[in-house]
Amino acid sequence: MVAIIPEHDIVGKEDNTKVDNGTMFYFLEKTDYSEVTFDQYIDIFIRTQLVAKEFVEKVLSDNSQERFCGLFQALDTINYKVSPVRALSSCNGHVVSLTFKTTL
């Protein structure tokens, strides 16, 4: 995991405001393109996708067993996304985006 990047959106009306807190977890591998074959390049995405999947399963499992405190108690278990990341500072892999529903 390389970075955790938060983002915030405010939704609702004056008397019922909610904040959508998004957080992205990156699972990347440094890639030296001059030394990697196409099959090895694809293997990077396979490996990082498995790690991202394990991360999501762990978060959802812990959430269902109420093991979280703080922000993770507000985890929106419906809104999560796993996406490939290509050529980000010479790294490739996957990013997991999670959303948390909180109030102001």
C-alpha–C-alpha distance, residues 104 and 102, integer Å: 7
**CB contact at 8 A, 104 and 91:** no
Secondary structure of residue 34 in the 3-state scheme: helix
C-alpha–C-alpha distance, residues 66 and 72, integer Å: 10
Predicted TM-score (pTM) of this structure: 0.76
Where does the pLDDT of residue 103 fall: very low under 50, low under 70, confident under 90, or very high at 90 and above?
low
Write the pLDDT tens digit of every residue in 8-64: 666 667 676 666 677 888 999 999 999 999 999 999 999 999 999 999 888 888 777
